[in-house]
Chains A and B, each alone.
Chain A
């Protein structure tokens, strides 16, 4: 059983590393190898979802690596592998001979493998490992075209922002061990810790999840991550990376409940992100930016679900969104390659020009908009009914965000279905030189994803939803009432209709507000101002202190020693020498003095003897 699980995560991991190690020499085989691995891994994932294997290996002192598949992780594994396969199939047509394909496909496999480890991780250390490797791989993928500094900057922003949040996982692991209640740091045991460690664990996990899932206030990195190739965006925004945070929160529901404050904080952050980034998405004029903001917003729903305990709703939202979003990004990428632009006004008529892409895009955009009966409509209601159970305000906020989804979904559609301009547009080729064609081989993955999008719809409705509940072991989930479904459906339809009707009219909002939304709530600039610049200032100050003060002190001490030595040489040494000289001179003088009486004349010696004896006699007499 455990072999199956090791194979599931090991196959893409090892193949990816081999492709990376071999480099450009294996460029030609890379797409085929990656596709083969993708197909095999999908099979493994499906088998694993049914067999539910578990595996374990020793790592640290009493902290083993444990992997396991249960309902939720089985569903996730299948989602990850199938989306990865579709994206790889599309990439095989996108990446020509002039690209470093071994690097690209190797990184994609590594990326998917780390997501697979993340979703099957049972203990915190292994989760943290895959979590961070995923971050590093995303860095390499976003900065794939490394000759352009702006793309590498974006990659750095993404990695550093998510790593900032990742520190929460380190904190949580330490706190869990310190609490003494967590045993092997199993994710399910975290909730058993006592205060104050429980709050530290919760805060750490929640922060890490928000960072990875680009929830407020970390959302800005996702905007920058658009600099990566489109297939990267398609994978990163759908079944990997950004959903990892939401998945972790769904997984650690018991911890959030036990902490007392975690659930509410998570639910509200999700809801507020869904609304705020929904507004950001509506304000965008660039298709990929619109889609990126919508990702934050849609993931906000999953986070809201995790905070309200709606496992089924969250999982359905996750899977349905993954299918729709990967498709949207792939089509956006195909148009970018063909037309050289991703600006919405320039993309007028793109859907008419390339029909397959247009139709599949429409299916995904309608799903994203949450229009009935498509999957995201009912999935949202399942999770919102749980929100209604905890607070009506949460429900209303969620509904508002759902309305915004309909608006941005319809907005994107309206642009691409406008009649094509009669003359070849001047606005094409703003980003790159377009090829003016979408390759035929790009069709199958797009169509398959679109079919998947639609096929997921029945899963979100009764009676199939009960089976999902069973698979996820999440019985006694709140079920949406009929009026909730009707209300959200009506709201979505009318919002989408209104958008379609008024799409080319601008809303009468003051332009600072619009610019603020268009600029992703200026979150990045705030982070630059509040964090990055002070850190650099501090670094420069510390370096200056190190060079000019600390080091100078040491050098000064050395030079002072030298000067002291010179001073000793000049002053003390001379004094000593002088003293010695003086003593010698005095002795010499005394000697000279002593030489005087020695005249050699007998009568003088006699006189000296008499004088001496007299003195002795006097002394003798006196002493007596």
Chain B
């Protein structure tokens, strides 16, 4: 079932490429939306069959390269299931949002379907090499999305994105090989490696492996100081590409921390937890500050991603501080981290799609070029206001549920760091209010560069059909998060048990 979920999009993508050239582009769009929708249905079926707290489920094992200890091993648990669902939701939203796309639709759809396979595949992988393959293929697919459908300087930004994250992935591979060599018998299987804990008691070796894996994941997440590929990639990418990049691809990094680094390297993770916490706090504050100074709407959102990912690092670092009676707090922190991944995916996805709506009408992301467009586009303004307030952590939206758990859980183990990172939610509040005021409120002014359409129509049906479900989900998670937390909580307890070894 998982295999079908993962590879069906690629199969359809190949099919699309095989169709005759004269096929109308509407057919491609329809197929794309239909596949994305059926993937979502599949994941819902998966979710409904999932038994909370019963560990890995839907496991599939197959021989792949047995001589090198590499196997095809997939499965889901409470950490990966929410991310699978998020991936399917976001890809469907992007498919709907791109219903008016006219440039090389067939290739665009095929690329996104392939990208969906790599994302889903990464989250279900239970083998390090399989994980690595999907990790790298996602970079390749995203490179083509940015370079092929991006704005003016897309080629440069795409190259930077590719090289930077590719180097990160090489560091990751180095770390994986380090784990492989330490295990006996040698294996890349995640479940076996987690059980073996092969680097227990080998301090220098383990520290080097953690460093390699840490850098690899930190580049992808991204955390300060490895984040500089993110703003240009986002500014140049098309809206749907940005939404997937921020919504799903960034989660690969943080997911790796929870799936690989924490359970497989518990000793050394605990020893260097303070470093993780510091990187997290620096990302939170620095990301928010730099975002505050931006004049480009999309660049600003990109930097808030650095800020939001920082909270996750803070939580996973703080959760390593093992002390008596802190189980509840640490579970909250880890659950908050996973919730934050889902929440950030929904909200930043929505924000980037909305940024696409803005660009489509004004042909610029420069906030100074706009003013008072709420008068022309009230529904668009209302949705952006919702997304902005949700993103600044307003209760009633998923962001609050995530951040409140992270803060409450992390304060006990790391009081100072958590107190400092609280400033992050204040700074994000400031920057979102400023941006919203600049673009939407005040007297009406539209950008008047040559080539800009004269009228500024309100959000169209297909655009709101993409954005509204994301916001609605964020509200549902913000008000009644139990259905998600029931899935995550046992998994985060399991991670903490593995970490405490």
Contact = CB atoms under 8 A, between A and B. Distances in A.
B10 interface: no
A173 B404 contact: yes
Contact of B408 (A23, A133, A139, A173): A173
A539 B228 contact: no
Interface in A529-555: 535-536, 538-540, 542-543, 546, 550-551, 554-555
A459 interface: no
A481 interface: no
Nearest to B441: A146
A136 B389 CA distance: 8
Contact of A128 (B326, B395, B423): B395
A180 B326 CA distance: 8
Contacts of B423: 167
Interface string B225-239: 100110000000000
Given A170-B404, A546-B228, A551-B228, A62 B328 contact: yes
A353 B408 CA distance: 57
Interface in A125-171: 125, 128-130, 132-133, 136, 139, 143, 146-149, 152-153, 156, 159-160, 163-164, 167, 170-171
B419 interface: yes
B16 interface: no
Contacts of A58: 482
B441 A149 contact: yes
Contacts of B443: 147, 149
A24 interface: yes
A129 B422 CA distance: 16
A536 B290 CA distance: 10
A550 B228 contact: yes
B333 to A, nearest CB: 10
A6 to B, nearest CB: 13
Nearest to A551: B228
Contacts of A132: 394-395, 400
B481 A167 contact: no
A143 B289 CA distance: 25
Contact of B290 (A164, A171, A180, A546): A546
Nearest to A129: B395
Contacts of B164: 554
B422 A170 contact: yes
A59 B482 CA distance: 6
Contact of B411 (A61, A174, A546, A550): A174
B408 A174 contact: yes
Given A129-B395, A159-B429, A551-B228, A171 B422 contact: yes
A558 interface: yes
A585 interface: no
A174 B410 contact: yes
Contacts of B400: 129, 132
Interface in A305-361: none
A160 B430 contact: yes
User: What is the interface of chain B mostly: helix, strand, loop, or mixed?
Assistant: helix
Given A61-B328, A61-B485, A147 B409 contact: no
A129 B478 CA distance: 10
A147 B375 contact: yes
Interface in A167-204: 167, 170-171, 173-175, 177-178, 180, 200
B292 A171 contact: no
B441 A152 contact: yes
Contacts of A60: 332, 335, 401, 404-405, 481, 485
Contacts of A139: 433
Contacts of A156: 430, 433-434, 437
Given A24-B378, A129-B395, A542-B290, A167 B489 contact: no
B329 interface: yes
Interface in A14-63: 20, 23-24, 58-63
Contacts of B228: 546, 550-551, 554
Given A60-B332, A180-B325, A133 B437 contact: no
Contacts of A160: 426, 429-430, 433
Nearest to A21: B382
Contact of B332 (A61, A146, A159): A61
Interface size band for B: 35 or more
B427 interface: yes
Contacts of B426: 160, 163-164, 167
Interface string A541-574: 0110010001100110010000000000000000
Contacts of A164: 426
Contacts of A551: 228
B401 A539 contact: no
B418 interface: yes
Contacts of B83: none
Contacts of B407: 170, 173-174
A159 B431 CA distance: 12
Nearest to A200: B415
A149 B442 contact: yes
Nearest to B478: A129
A174 B332 CA distance: 11
A539 B289 contact: yes
Contacts of B69: none
Contacts of A62: 328
Contacts of B225: 550
B412 A174 contact: yes
A58 B409 CA distance: 18
B444 to A, nearest CB: 8
A177 B433 contact: no
B441 A147 contact: yes
B163 interface: yes
B425 interface: yes
B204 interface: no
Contacts of A163: 425-426, 429
10 contacts: A20-B382, A60-B404, A61-B405, A146-B440, A177-B329, A180-B325, A180-B326, A539-B290, A539-B292, A542-B293
Interface of A: 20, 23-24, 58-63, 125, 128-130, 132-133, 136, 139, 143, 146-149, 152-153, 156, 159-160, 163-164, 167, 170-171, 173-175, 177-178, 180, 200, 535-536, 538-540, 542-543, 546, 550-551, 554-555, 558
Given A149-B443, A167-B426, 4 more contacts: A61-B489, A148-B442, A177-B409, A200-B415
Interface of B: 160, 163-164, 225, 228-229, 286, 289-290, 292-294, 325-326, 328-329, 331-332, 335, 372, 374-375, 378-379, 382, 389, 394-396, 400-401, 404-405, 407-413, 415, 418-419, 422-423, 425-427, 429-430, 433-434, 437, 440-443, 481-482, 485, 489
